[in-house]
Structures are given as C-alpha cells and as structure tokens.
C-alpha cells in the first residue's frame, strides 16, 4: 500500500499516542501506586493451590530502608516490648538475650503505634482483598523476626499456623481464611534459613498432630509436627530478595532452617490478615496473638470447657 506522504507523516506522529492509549486500557499488574499492588491471575491461583506464593520486589529499596530503621529500634530494645512478647522463638522464655537465636517481637504496632499503617501494611491490605474478595479482610496481628548471623539453631520447626490458633468451632465461625505476609528485610536464602513449605498441604484443611518443642508451652511457645518426604511430602523453598514478600495461608505446612551465614542476619516483617468476623471472634475469647495473654492456649477446647 502506497501512503501519501502527508498521511504517512500524520500516522507516524500519532502512533505513540495511540499505542499509549491502548496500553492505558490494558490490565496492569504489580505495583501501580504507593498503596496498590495488583496480582496476576497466576499469582492468585498459586496462592490458593500451593498455599504459598512469592511476590518479587514489591517494596523499593528506599521503602525498606525506612521500615528497617524502626525494625532495628525494636531489635536493639530501644522500643520497649513487655514480657513474653519479646522473646526467642526457638528457646525457653527464660533464655538470656545474649543467647537468643531467633529474636521475636510480637505486635510491634501495638507497642509503637507510629509504625502502623506504613506502606507495607497498605500493600498487604490491598493484596488480601484480591485473594479473598468476598471477605472483609482486616489486619489480625504483626510480628518482627530476626535470625541472628551464624545461628544454625535458629530453626522454625515444621508447623501449621492453625496449630497455634483457635479452631473455627472454638471461634464459632465457618471459615478461618488467612493470608500471612512476610517481608524480606534482608535477602532470604537457603543459606540463612528462608521459608520452606509443603505445597498443597493445606487443601484438606486438617491439622497434623502438633507437640511442644519444650516441656510445655509455658516453657517455650514453639510447636512442631512431622514432615516425611517418604510419605509423599514435597518440600519447596521460598527464597525472597530484600523488598519481596511471601504469602502463606493458615493450613499450609511450613517452617525454616537455621542461619548458616556467619555474616548475614535474616530479618522478616510479618503481617497477617483474616476476615473481620474471625478477628472479632478471637478477641471475644481473649486471644490476641500476644504471648502475654492470660490464658495459655495449649488446648482451646479444654480451656473453654473450664469453669
């Protein structure tokens, strides 16, 4: 086709604008604003089918720097966190601070409200609504974790989060849907103990038998379950670079190994979202995810049966 020179010139002049118009009406995925991250259909499917997925490079280096400043104030005990809410997740509660392997700070925004509603929280809220669009997802709790350098015993034993939490029957709800977000404040690799999980282990929504790592949960909060690859369990690693986020649900079997890097820590910022009805039911029975709760929730049914 032979275009007249004037028409060809006009076409070439307006082609960039036309293409931009088409692109503006095309679906956008990933980070699109300060508080919005749009999931792809594949990411949504991966979360629901595997029980865990990874979103790469969600926060900018500058945004992680800002979060890191407050995070380290907690780790350095500049911001006070009372009682058992500042502890070692892998050892007895009375372990001296200098001997800790996994520094755990529960409910940081409760003890430092200025930290709440940060850019990470806003993005998590946006993503949670996409994963469960039919539910009123709201923040349940938050947590800061640090695997200290060279701490090979900084192990999160295999577990399901529902092993730590009240069941649907105890709460009087039908569903317990959860998306737990973990922001990599440091590069999270196999060497420093990144998340590992058993894909699909959440499908039947059944708990495996959990037992305390210590003599009881008065001594240590941690629980553990059995994972057996000879019986069909497939273990998958979920490494995440600084600024990336992993998301897992409440029934997927997961844990992490120790930190074998002598010069690298592994800091993780956790925020969990659940339906508003679930969070309200938790609070009604006195469950707040605080280790300082008056009731020791070793067995929820037994506790609620007590006079």
**What pLDDT does 212 receive?**
84
Encode pLDDT of 173-218 as tens digits. 999 999 999 999 999 999 999 999 999 999 999 999 998 876 554 5
**What pLDDT does 1 receive?**
47
Encode pLDDT of 51-83 as tens digits. 999 999 999 999 999 999 999 999 999 999 999
pLDDT by 10-residue block (mean), the chain, 307 residues: 44 43 62 98 98 98 98 98 94 92 98 98 98 98 98 95 94 96 98 98 94 63 85 96 98 97 98 98 96 68 42
DSSP bridge pairs for 179 = 273
Closest to 109 (Cα-Cα) out of 65, 71, 142: 142
| Residue 135, token pair as written in the block | 């539910």
Taking a C-beta distance cutoff of 8 angstroms, is the pair 91, 99 a contact?
Answer: yes
> What are the E-state strand segments in 117-176?
137-147, 156-159
**What pLDDT does 254 receive?**
97
Taking a C-beta distance cutoff of 8 angstroms, is the pair 65, 120 a contact?
Answer: no
Global pTM value: 0.87
Cα atoms in the Cβ-side hemisphere of radius 13 Å centred on 268:
28
Neighbour tally for 57: CB within 10 Å: 14
Taking a C-beta distance cutoff of 8 angstroms, is the pair 139, 271 a contact?
Answer: yes
**What pLDDT does 91 receive?**
87
Q: What is the CA radius of gyration of the chain?
A: 22
Closest to 177 (Cα-Cα) out of 122, 249, 121: 249
């Amino acid at each position: 086709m032979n275009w007249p020179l004037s028409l060809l010139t006009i076409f070439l002049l307006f082609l960039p604008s036309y293409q931009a118009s088409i692109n503006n009406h095309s679906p956008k995925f990933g980070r699109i604003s300060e508080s919005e991250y749009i999931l792809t259909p594949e990411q949504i499917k991966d979360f629901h089918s595997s029980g865990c997925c990874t979103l790469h490079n969600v926060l900018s280096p500058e945004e992680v720097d800002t979060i890191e400043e407050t995070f380290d104030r907690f780790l350095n005990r500049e911001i006070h966190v009372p009682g058992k809410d500042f502890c070692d997740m892998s050892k007895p509660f009375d372990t001296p601070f200098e001997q800790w392997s996994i520094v755990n700070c529960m409910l940081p925004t409760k003890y430092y409200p200025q930290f709440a509603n940060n850019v990470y929280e806003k993005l998590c809220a946006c993503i949670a609504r996409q994963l469960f669009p039919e539910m009123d997802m709201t923040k349940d709790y938050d947590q800061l974790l640090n695997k200290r350098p060279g701490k090979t015993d900084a192990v999160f034993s295999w577990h399901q989060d529902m092993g730590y939490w009240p069941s649907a029957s105890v709460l009087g709800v039908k569903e317990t849907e959860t998306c737990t977000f973990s922001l990599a404040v440091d590069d999270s690799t196999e060497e420093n103990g990144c998340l590992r999980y058993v894909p699909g282990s959440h499908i039947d929504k059944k708990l495996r038998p959990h037992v305390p790592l210590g003599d009881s949960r008065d001594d240590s909060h941690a629980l553990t379950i059995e994972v057996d690859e000879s019986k069909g369990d497939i273990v998958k690693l979920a490494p995440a670079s600084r600024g990336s986020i992993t998301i897992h649900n409440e029934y997927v079997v997961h844990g992490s190994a120790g930190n074998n890097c002598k010069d690298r820590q592994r800091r993780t910022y956790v925020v969990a979202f659940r339906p508003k009805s679930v969070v309200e039911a938790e609070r009604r029975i006195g469950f707040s995810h605080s280790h300082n709760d008056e009731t020791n929730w070793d067995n929820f049914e037994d506790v609620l049966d007590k006079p």
